[in-house]
Amino acid sequence: MDDGVNQSTPDQVKVYVMDRVIVKEMINPGSGGALSISDGNLAGLQLAIPPGALTADTTIGIGQDFSLPPLNGRTIQIPASFEPAGLSFALPVSVMVPYDAKRYKNPDKLKVYLYDESIGQWIEVPIVRVDQVYGLVTVNITHFSSLALIEDEEETSSKHEIDGGFGCGMIKNVSRPGNPPTWPLDLFLLGTIVLWLSFRNTKCLRFLPNH
């Protein structure tokens, strides 16, 4: 600010604007309120603001920011953004995020992340509840930011290591959570390898248990 006599140091303010606003509503701090989306790819998403979470009447919006970066290289199933961006709450605000119960057979593998604008990274948010009947994941947030729901795709694997004296070859059978057990196939492959090594005059065979 410059009053003609003194000039203050300028402040830098970052303003984030959603690409698409789906719902918007004025929320009274005394009564609180709720917003929900009924159609589109965010259908079922709900926002519950308790009384006392806000300090003044505030227009709250839910929408989408299509400029969000990938989350650990994965496709984001539910990308949702809120405005005013960065708004902090005196009390936790609940967000209920829908997921496809038919597609995700293991809801325990679902994870929710918030995008931290200040460091440019996705931060995992603890899940409060998973409603498998209605397909909703509930998290509590203390400020507005973009939110994403993904399924944890960490692989579980079993290793069978074959040592033929001249060096060990390794087979790694990978199974994702929710898939049927792979042990019949594992045994078949192991038997095939043992038979193959017998023709190569193998000197040793070592089997490593599942990890």
Q: Cα 112 from chain centroid?
A: 4
| pTM of this structure | 0.64
pLDDT at res. 12: 44
Same domain, 89 and 111: yes
Same domain, 145 and 160: no
Note the pLDDT tens digit of each residue in 81-138.
999 989 999 999 999 999 887 777 788 889 999 998 888 899 999 999 999 889 999 9
Residue 94 near residue 155, CB atoms below 8 Å: no
Domain tally, the chain: 2
Note the pLDDT tens digit of each residue in 146-199.
999 988 765 333 344 434 444 444 444 444 444 444 455 555 555 666 565 565
The CATH number of whichever domain residue 121 belongs to comes to 2.60.220.30
Same domain, 28 and 132: yes
Same domain, 24 and 109: yes
Does 19 score more than 80 pLDDT?
no
pLDDT at res. 159: 41
Does 143 score more than 70 pLDDT?
yes
Position 3 in a domain:
no
Q: Which residue has the tokens 């005013």?
A: 84
Enclosing H/E stretch for 120: none
Same domain, 117 and 28: yes
Does 60 score more than 90 pLDDT?
yes
Q: Which domain holds residue 172?
A: 156-199
Q: Which residue has the tokens 């604008």?
A: 117
Does 26 score more than 70 pLDDT?
yes
HSE-up (13 A, CA, CB side) for residue 49: 30
Position 145 in a domain:
yes
Same domain, 147 and 161: no
Residue 27 near residue 49, CB atoms below 8 Å: yes
Same domain, 45 and 137: yes
Same domain, 107 and 27: yes
Beta carbons within 10 angstroms of residue 89's beta carbon: 18
Q: Which residue has the tokens 């944890």?
A: 152
